Chain A
Amino acid sequence: MNDALDVALRLLVVFVVFLTFPLIVGQTEHKVMAHMQGRLGPMYAGGFHGWAQLVADGVKFAQKEDVVPTGADRRIFQLAPAVALLPYLLVLLAIPIGPGEGAVGEAVDAGIFFVLAVMGVGVLGSLMAGWASANKFSLLGGLRTAAQLLAYELPMLLTAASVAMAAGTVSLPGIVGAFEWWWLPWQIVGAIVFFVAGLAELQRPPFDMPVADSEIIFGAYTEYTGLRFALFLLAEYAGIIVLCGLTTVLFLGGWHGPWGADGLGWVWTLLKTALLAFVVIWLRVTYPRMREDQLQKFSWTLLVPLSLAQIALTGIVKVVIS
Chain B
Amino acid sequence: MSLAAATAATARATTAAAQSHGFLSPTGVEIAFLLVGLVTFGAALVTVTTKQLVHAALWLVVTLGGLAVEYLLLTAEFIAWVQVLIYVGSVVVLLLFGLMLTKAPIGRSPDADSGNRWAALVVAVAAAAALVWVVVDAFRTTWVDLGGAPAGSTEVTGASLFQSWVLPFEALSVLLLAALVGAIVLSRKAKADAAPTPSARTVPGARNVPNGRSDKEGTR
Contact = CB atoms under 8 A, between A and B. Distances in A.
Nearest to A76: B58
A253 B146 CA distance: 35
A117 interface: yes
B81 A117 contact: yes
B85 A150 contact: no
Interface stretch (A46-54, A129-137, A314-322): A129-137
B88 A146 contact: no
Interface stretch (A2-10, A16-24, A107-115, A293-301): A107-115
B103 to A, nearest CB: 10
A110 B155 CA distance: 9
**By CB atoms of chain B within 10 A, which of A123, A127, A128 has the most?**
A127
Contacts of B92: 124
A143 B101 contact: yes
Contacts of B101: 143
A134 B106 contact: yes
B58 A128 contact: yes
Main secondary structure of the interface of A (DSSP, over half): helix
A116 interface: yes
Contact of B97 (A113, A114, A121, A150): A150
A146 B97 contact: yes
Interface string A131-160: 110100001001100110110010001000
B150 interface: yes
Interface residues on A, range: 20 to 34
Contacts of B88: 117, 120-121, 124
Given A121-B88, A131-B104, A134-B106, A146 B81 contact: no
Interface residues on B, range: 20 to 34
A113 B150 contact: no
B180 to A, nearest CB: 13
Contacts of A134: 106
A127 B85 CA distance: 16
B77 A153 contact: no
Contacts of A100: none
B94 interface: yes
Contacts of A110: 77-78, 81, 153-154
Contacts of A139: 100, 104
B82 interface: yes
Interface of B: 54-55, 58, 61, 77-78, 81-82, 84-85, 88-90, 92-94, 96-97, 99-101, 104, 106-107, 150, 153-154
13 contacts: A72-B106, A73-B54, A76-B58, A110-B78, A110-B154, A117-B89, A120-B89, A120-B90, A124-B93, A131-B54, A131-B106, A146-B93, A170-B154
Interface of A: 71-73, 76, 108-110, 113-114, 116-118, 120-121, 123-124, 127-128, 130-132, 134, 139, 142-143, 146-147, 149-150, 153, 157, 170-171
- Of all A-B residue pairs in the complex, the 3 with the closest CB atoms, nearest first, are A120-B89, A117-B85, A113-B81
Given A73-B106, A76-B54, 19 more contacts: A72-B106, A108-B77, A109-B150, A113-B82, A120-B85, A121-B89, A123-B93, A124-B96, A127-B100, A131-B54, A131-B99, A142-B96, A142-B100, A146-B94, A147-B97, A150-B90, A150-B93, A157-B85, A171-B154
